Structure 1
């Protein structure tokens, strides 16, 4: 399809704004590594919270949600909705602890929590493991999604798309540091939400769709509307509901939903003004990510079933898609081709914004690991602040290049999602307990990483074989990884020595001060449960209002308000400190 001059104008204006923000922020970001990676630790909760949400609003997320809806209905989203429990655990138990630590990256945690040379080795090893390997896989998935969108809406190849977008995102990420990322995230989130909601309204009212009531009554859509899975369908219940809630949320490490906090979520918490801002930022993120944002994508996914009932119909409409780029996740971009001039420009800009927001965050986060936890710790311990910033900028370029190249080996948003879950399978419980269980040591973490990665590598390569050695579902693969990895690292923990007592005492004084580490544990558990229920109620209320189920919408809305009041009272009485 062809874009109009108006569409191109909107896109160009967005690029100019992004570059200007990066150039403006570079004046302070280049001063020292603290400014470049943590923006001087002076950021307010609302800016950090929006940045967290914008980062998870990746180019692949609308495609992932669309794929889940087309294959398993609305209830298919429980594979990621269940991760809300992980997020709320971070809000009420770990956000303040991270900010209290005063570290620059979450990997510095290892040398204040553990003792000996193995603590330093673990920090450097995980810097490369997460900041480079894991990070490249994550960004490659986003690059693939961006390439699919570009192929349909712009008619350009994957290589062309990656060259154009990489140049822009690398420039403002390497110039502006975290402050540049945060400011552009704020702009990008606003554009993304406006584009997403507006596009959904327009698509629902297309003559081919006929409005919301007609859409919901379509035979291909009516069977996909249930928010909860069919409890009479054992396979669906286990895959979409039981495994995510019973196993996945606490046992797997996934970007943006790390048990106990971590990655770019921890980076945002560490950049907060204080502990209160760190907590509120994380709470806003979980509310917006799970309750505020999903429904426009879900509705578009449902509408796509009317216009593109199967993958073959998409392939026939867009013959330029290569076999590697075909799939259910392409349906979201395919639906955007029905938008008029101007609105198409806004939506395409929002998708570009989503791509850039995620990639810029991953680049800044990954380079912070390489610089602070590898280069300055092991390669050049006397590195000046200017040298650190230069290395950070070089790393940004190299990470982007590697991610772009690896994206050619991936195929679908759900495939990337499953791969990342599998790599982190079985490590989650360790990250939850390491703040409290003194026996956990560097060998525990090394064992968890190696075991989970080797299992994930086996299943990944096995799936690429013409005749796989084993044929099992992704759910069985996940449980296998969780069980073997969890048992493995617990055994290593019990067979090896804990950190020395002096290190443990210093850690407890820094993080918990003179207080009991389980202070107000009962109130925090209540807040965790009530907060989780409250956000789910907002999610359910929104869905039922859209479906025209007024009575259910009112009930869930009231329950959400009650949840807010309970948490406010707990905070007011200082029972969550």
Structure 2
């Protein structure tokens, strides 16, 4: 569960940064800290708020506690079958050396499947790939069409013209993304780039619910600055000078790349927030009426609305966010307790497995109690 405390780099990158910085600062598709399109689509499709909470927790249980274990078991088996990269190259001599890496072990293990199962896995991988690609291309194209072209370039454009712009932008996005993919040598690089492209933006997505001063320019400046800074650090010599390489040290330790991106991005969006005008009073009033965020960050707006004869607070219920934060922490214990207890049962460490399983059950009961405090019913 815990990394080697004598290995400073591993300790910082795998434990300290995720716990201290990454969870609130990083935007990652499907795991936005303040909520986002991926999860919101599913939650808004639920019958009511209680169903949405239950479904989201069910997704997290399956995604983080159950789904990793088939991957982990295949990975462990791959270490036995292909103990090093040389053994993979020996088994598949036609693979070019620039593409050889540890992440090929999973693909190599797929060749051990019988034909029927291999066909099923290939069909599922193609379906997953196509659905992800189409989602992201449509998502990116919608930004180009709705948020840029129709708003700033040609507001009176016909629907036919907007459809054509969408088609062209979809093709261009596919070409550019394919070019970027060819420059990469392994999956970890891509994961790292996506993580750093969203570094520093996560806090905005949390604060926009609880602080009236966040505006559109806050988000725009954060997205652009994190993207530009990440490109400079990953694709230019600046990153090598500042953070070094595997062979040579830089000015700063290699693990500090992500925190530095977060720090610089945060400085930019905070400066932009205070240098630009806040949203209009009507926009803020309407937002509060719809979401009822509560908390001290909106007190100024509530007072201003009251002075204008407008009532924003629509409920007398106690603010549920503190209980929600506690439920988040207990939920993390529940999910990760289930994840690691499963591993201990598989590995035969029955004492640790029993303790963690008991902790998971206690956390689950506590979580249900907390949900009942937040809502009149949970499911």
Task: Report TM bin, short chain.
Answer: 0.7 to 0.9
1:266 corresponding residue in structure 2? 40
Structure 2 residue aligned with 1:179: none
Aligned pairs, how many? Answer: 349
- Whether the 8 Å contact between 1:264 and 1:365 is mirrored in structure 2 is no
Gaps of 5+ in 2: 245-249, 293-312
Q: Which residue of 2 aligns with 1:331?
A: 105
The structure-2 alpha-carbon separation of the partners of 1:296 and 1:507, relative to structure 1 and needing over 3 Å to count, comes to: same
C-alpha displacement of 1:452: 1.5
Q: Is the 8 A contact 2:324 2:374 kept in 1?
A: no
Aligned to 2:76: 302
Q: Do the aligned partners of residues 462 and 505 (structure 1) sit closer, same or farther apart at CA in structure 2, a change above 3 Å counting?
A: same
Residues 478/307 of structure 1: CA separation in 2 closer, same or farther (3 Å cut): same
Q: Is the 8 A contact 1:229 1:237 kept in 2?
A: yes
Aligned pairs (5 A) from 1:217-366: 227-366=1-140
Shift in CA distance, 393/453, structure 1 to aligned 2, threshold 3 Å: closer
Aligned in 2, Cα 1:552/1:357: closer, same or farther, shift over 3 Å?
A: farther
User: Does residue 492 in structure 1 map to residue 272 in structure 2?
Assistant: yes
Instruction: Indicate if the aligned counterparts of 1:364 and 1:396 stay in contact, CA closer than 8 A.
Output: yes
Of residues 468, 472, 478 in structure 1, which corresponds to 2:258? 478
Instruction: Summarize deviations over 1:115-152 as a string: whole Å, max 9, x none.
Output: xxxxxxxxxxxxxxxxxxxxxxxxxxxxxxxxxxxxxx
Q: C-alpha displacement at 1:516, in angstroms?
A: 7.7
- The 2-side partners of 1:496 and 1:325 are apart by 46
Using the size of structure 2 for normalisation, the TM-score is: 0.81
**Contiguous gaps of at least 5 residues in structure 1:** 1-226
| Greater Rg by CA | 2
Tell me which residue corresponds to 2:302.
Answer: none
Partner of 1:469: 241
Whether 1:501 aligns to 2:264 is no
Tell me: CA distance 1:308–1:395, structure 2 relative to 1, closer, same or farther (3 Å). same
Q: 1:511 maps to what in 2?
A: 291
Could you tell me whether the CA contact under 8 Å between 1:291 and 1:535 is conserved in 2? Answer: yes
Give the superposition deviation at 1:463.
6.0
CA distance in 1 between counterparts of 2:237 and 2:358 reads 47
Q: How far apart, CA to CA, are the structure 2 residues paired with 1:276 and 1:403?
A: 39
Once the 2 structures are TM-superposed, how far is the Cα of residue 458 of structure 1 from its aligned partner? 1.0
How far apart are residue 474 of structure 1 and its match? 5.1
The structure with higher relative contact order (CA 8 Å, sep 6+) is 1
Deviations 1:257-302 (A, max 9, x none): 1120224333433444543444334322222221110111112212
Task: Tell me what 2:306 maps to.
Answer: none
Q: 1:444: which partner in 2? A: 218
Deviation at 1:417, TM superposition (A): 0.9
Query: Normalising by structure 1, what TM-score?
Result: 0.55
Task: Note the 1:387-406 alignment, pairs <5 A.
Answer: 392=166, 395-406=169-180
1:408 aligned partner: 182
Q: In the aligned structure 1, how far is the partner of 2:227 from the partner of 2:146?
A: 24
Is 1:551 aligned to residue 351 of structure 2?
yes
Q: Is the 8 A contact 2:323 2:373 kept in 1?
A: no
Where does residue 338 of structure 2 map in the other structure? 538
